[in-house]
Amino acid sequence: MASNPAPNSTEPVLVVRDLSVTYRTPAGPVRAVNGVSFSLRPGERLGLVGESGSGKTTTALSLMRLLQTSAVIEGGQVLLGGVDLLQLSEEDMREARFAEIALIPQGAMNSLNPMMKVGEQLRDTIRAHRAGSNAKATADTDARIQRALESVELRATVVNSYPHELSGGMKQRVCIAMGILLNPKVIIADEPTSALDVVVQRQVMETLRKVQEALGAAVILVGHDMGLMAQFVDRIGVMYGGKLAEVGPVRGIIKDPLHPYAQLLIKSLPNLETKENFRGIPGLTPSLLNPPSGCMFHPRCPQAMPRCATDVPALVEIKTDRWVSCLLYEGSPS
């Protein structure tokens, strides 16, 4: 079913509307995600970029309701195939995890249980989503595991290994295999290669792309490496201070970024032709405990106007599929 794109493939598979998440901390509430909205078409690859602390991980984990107990989802909707995941019962949400929406975690090195063989950790994923266990089910489980391992280019014998016997790249491949075991519609990959070295990074990303295309699943790829991102995703969402600053097709954004923060981010990329050095973006990341008034970016924005300190820009579509949250564009025809 999920493996071949449905005829109505223009219908988004995932719609996130006005998602807001706050962490309760001793110092006060931290608004980590602040009114984030985006949608994802079947098979589409969306990248979430932004500096550390901009809310990428919190956004990704809240889609699966995996946040720590100190986090509160204050509002919004996460519609997966029309069903709001935020309204599901605990048990229904558990069932949806990995079956409908899977996670390839950030910490590849430590994401597998060190006490359990890889095969057992793949098997319990399937078992958690299926009642009963007869001989036929067991055979089917084993076949699924073999197929998944094959598609991530791992030998079938890794099922007998403990995680510490595998390299970082192999562990991350195991995690990818795990993610596709139950044919989910959406796969969230949170910096899936950040712990790996550059060569392995590319190989793992290639594998991820291959299995994702074969499966027809949509992917949300979280990362801060714009270079890697540009090669992998179709669309990019740039996050700043818990909000989406800009969303659009990857080519459009790289060639012609509209939001001042996106412009600085693109400019700061090391340019191979001119051998320019990497330039950071001047200024400090905003405090989410005490967020700036008006536009989150105004204390650092080179194009800030007086009203930027008071008015809050909304994310609006100013050209086809180009969404920007900046007062410079407000009022311009869409």
Out of 22, 34, 37, 57, point to the residue binding Mg ion (CB under 5 A): 57
Among 11, 25, 116, 198, indicate the residue that binds other proteins (CB under 8 A): 116
If binding is defined by CB under 8 A, does position 186 make contact with other proteins?
no
Collect contacts of 129-134 with beta carbons under 8 A, ≥24 apart: 129/95, 129/98, 129/99, 129/182
Residue 97 in contact with other proteins, rule: CB under 8 A: yes
Task: Report the distance separating Cα 248 and Cα 254, nearest Å.
Answer: 10
Rounded Cα gap, residues 293 and 86, in angstroms: 29
Measured in whole angstroms, how far is the alpha carbon of residue 46 from the centre of its chain?
Answer: 7
In contact, 192 and 172? CB cutoff 8 Å: yes
Q: Kindly report the CA angle at 275 between 273 and 277, in degrees rounded to 5?
A: 135
Task: Work out whether 25 is an interface residue with ligand ADP (CB under 6 A).
Answer: yes
Q: Is 99 in the site for other proteins (CB under 8 A)?
A: yes
Binding segment for ligand ADP among 45-53, 181-189, 268-276, 298-306 (CB under 6 A)?
45-53
Residue 289 or 305: the one with the smaller Cβ distance to ligand SF4 is 305
Footprint (CB under 6 A) of ligand SF4, residues 53-82: none
Q: Minimum Å distance from CB 246 to ligand ADP?
A: 16
Six-digit token string for 179: 């993610």
> What is each CA distance from 284 to 20, 32, 133, 301, 305, in whole angstroms?
23, 16, 55, 11, 19
- H/E stretch holding 228 reads helix 226-232
Task: Quote the Cα angle for 81-82-86, to 5°.
Answer: 100
> How buried is 268 (Cβ within 10 angstroms: 0-12 exposed, 13-18 middle, 19+ buried)?
middle
Report the residue number, 60 or 250, with the smaller CB distance to other proteins.
60
Q: Using CB under 6 A, which residues numbered 5 to 24 contact ligand ADP?
A: 23
CB 143, min distance to Mg ion, A:
35
**Interface of this chain with ligand ADP, residues 54 to 83, rule: CB under 6 A:** 54-58, 68, 70
- By CB under 6 A, is residue 304 in contact with ligand SF4? yes
Q: Which of 107, 249, 292, 299 binds other proteins (CB under 8 A)?
A: 107
Q: What is the largest CA-CA distance in the chain?
A: 70
Q: Exactly one of 119, 216, 237, 313 binds ligand SF4 (CB under 6 A); which one?
A: 313
Gap between the Cα atoms of 270 and 140, Å rounded: 48
Stretch that binds ligand SF4, among 57-65, 74-82, 164-172, 297-305 (CB under 6 A): 297-305
From 3, 70, 231, 303, residue interacting with ligand SF4 (rule: CB under 6 A): 303
Q: How far is the CB of 118 from ligand SF4 (least distance, A)?
A: 47
Q: Is the distance from CB of 277 to CB of 270 less than 8 angstroms?
A: yes
Query: Does residue 193 touch Mg ion according to CB under 5 A?
Result: no
Q: Are the C-beta atoms of residues 323 and 317 closer than 8 Å to each other?
A: yes
Instruction: Pick the stretch among 51-59, 173-181, 204-212, 318-326 that binds Mg ion (CB under 5 A).
Output: 51-59
Q: Write out the residues near ligand ADP by the rule CB under 6 A.
A: 23, 25, 30, 32, 50, 52-58, 68, 70, 288
Q: Write out the residues near ligand SF4 by the rule CB under 6 A.
A: 259-260, 295, 297-298, 301, 303-305, 308, 313, 326-328
